Amino acid sequence: MRVAMIGTGYVGLVSGACFADFGHSVVCVDKDESKIERLLNGEIPIFEPGLDELVASNVAAGRLAFTTDLKEAMAGADAVFIAVGTPSRRGDGHADLSYVYAASEEIAALIADYTVVVTKSTVPVGTGAEVEAIIQKVRPDLTPGAGFSVASNPEFLREGAAIDDFKRPDRVVCGVEDDKAKDVLAELYRPLFLNETPIVFTARVTSELIKYAANAFLATKITFINEMADLCEQVGADVQAVARGIGLDKRIGSKFLHAGPGYGGSCFPKDTLALVRTAQQYGAPVKIVEAVVEVNDARKKSMAGRVKDAVGGDLSGKTVAILGLAFKPNTDDMRDAPSLDIIPALLEAGAGIRAHDPEAMEEAARHFGDRITYCHGPYEALDGADVLLLVTEWDEYRALDLDRARGMLKQPVIVDLRNVYRPAELARAGFDYSSIGRPAIQPARP
């Protein structure tokens, strides 16, 4: 099949490369000329493990191409996917659909033979119908279900594990209103049928809601364990044991029960908020999700207070070594990352910041400019700092040489927002160690 993929971001580029790897012929298109230029030069504009090899091999095989010209991308396409951003709209928290609608207008003008227009972006209930209306307005000569169809195919991949998630998903969800669109999507995902991946065909509006319901549920699970962590700290319990104790119950499951600084990233914050707004708009408020949004926002803002407590209540003139800036490991993405709440609060309190992240330094520089010091490695960040603050659990931080770390820090103080270290080991190594939902440990000093 021939596919046009609009948007070469985290979702569009991975989806395009994976569809090509399934054997389809894919042209990825982006308005951002510099992104396309880099891709044409064999560079990958984002960090995603394995993506460089996947793109290179499919380009070499002649199945994957890049362009800024939608007309070229859509020539002969059976399906055109919209994988553009749907950020929060400033002011009201609804999803900003302007990129989706602009792409729909551009597509409409270029439809020649029957084409399925597929929204892969996360879009609120009713967006597919709106896309269909836009296309009909531009092209009154085309009838839905005959000249074109609009389908929904939300993406569930996780950054950092995106290729595996796309190729071996728990399920694929396709929202269709007619059999022609269903047949095209079934053919596109045929390699997954062979793996017995469940493919859920449903109405378009249901498919749109499934994506938001899934993200809101996961965000709720994280927020639940974060509140349990706070309670653990008050009663002297250990949240990791609580998570294991409840997670072994198959009805609950062990995933997404890691207490931390609050969820961030390119999806959960904006999608939970957009679901809240949609539900309010339809007069069916989702109060649980409203609470999740509020609790999570407050949590991210409160994390700097933990650092302040760890250094004795005053951050002015203190240096904080921050390890990890991306919203999670194995990505350079900092959208809504906890570090974006924590760093301004620390600066406001008078602290200096020495930061390191294996992949997100360039992105961090766009946010913080010269207000923080960017270090080449974790030990450089620790050099002369008063406290180590672990924000993102990259593997290289898990394997930190604790003796070396203690030697570089001015004070042996660690605040671990991801519970990557073992409290007893840290106490033995002479650290004042605080983590999330576990008793704070003072070193055994003579």
Which residues contribute to the site for ligand NAD (CB under 6 A)?
A: 6-12, 29-32, 35, 83-86, 99, 102-103, 106, 121-122, 155, 157, 159, 266-267
Q: Return the number of the residue (99 or 256) whose C-beta is nearest ligand NAD.
A: 99
DSSP 274: H
CB of 371 to ligand NAD, least distance (A): 25
Residues with catalytic roles: 267
Is 11 or 415 the residue whose CB approaches ligand NAD more closely? Answer: 11
Question: Which residue in this structure is represented by tokens 């649980």?
Answer: 288
Closer of 106 and 177 to ligand NAD (Cβ): 106
- Hey, is 402 helix, strand or coil? helix
Which is closer to ligand NAD, CB of 14 or CB of 242?
A: 14
Contact between 88 and 96 (Cβ < 8 Å): yes
Instruction: Tell me if 303 sits within 8 A of 261, measured CB to CB.
Output: yes
Task: Please state the closest distance from residue 50 (CB atom) to ligand NAD, in A.
Answer: 15
Q: In degrees, to the nearest 5, what angle opens at C-alpha 377 toward C-alphas 375 and 381?
A: 50
- In angstroms, what is the minimal distance from the CB of 6 to ligand NAD? 5
Residue 305 CB burial class (10 angstroms; 0-12, 13-18, ≥19): middle
Cβ count near 180 (within 10 Å):
16
192 neighbors 169 (Cβ within 8 angstroms): yes
**Any bridge partners for residue 323, and if so which?**
356, 390
Return d(Cα 311, Cα 307) in angstroms, integer. 6
Least spacing, CB of residue 30 vs ligand NAD, in Å: 4
Environment class of 186 (CB within 10 Å of its CB; exposed 0-12, middle 13-18, buried 19+): middle
Nearby residues of 22 by Cβ (< 8 Å), 6 or more positions away: 188, 190, 191
Q: Which 8-state DSSP code applies to residue 194?
A: H
Q: How far is the CB of 269 from ligand NAD (least distance, A)?
A: 11
Dig out the tokens for 295 from the structure.
């609790």
Closest CB to ligand NAD among residues 74, 400: 74
Say what the alpha-carbon torsion angle 55, 357, 393, 261 is, to the nearest 10 degrees. -110
**Which of residues 122 and 220 has its CB atom nearest to ligand NAD in the complex?**
122
Tokens representing 216 are 């809101």
Separation CA 323–CA 338 (nearest Å): 12
C-beta atoms surrounding 53 within 10 Å: 12
Least distance CB 239 / ligand NAD (angstroms): 26
The residue among 210 and 310 lying less far from ligand NAD, judged by its C-beta, is 210
Residue nearest to ligand NAD (CB): 9
As measured in angstroms, the least distance from the Cβ of 266 to ligand NAD is 4
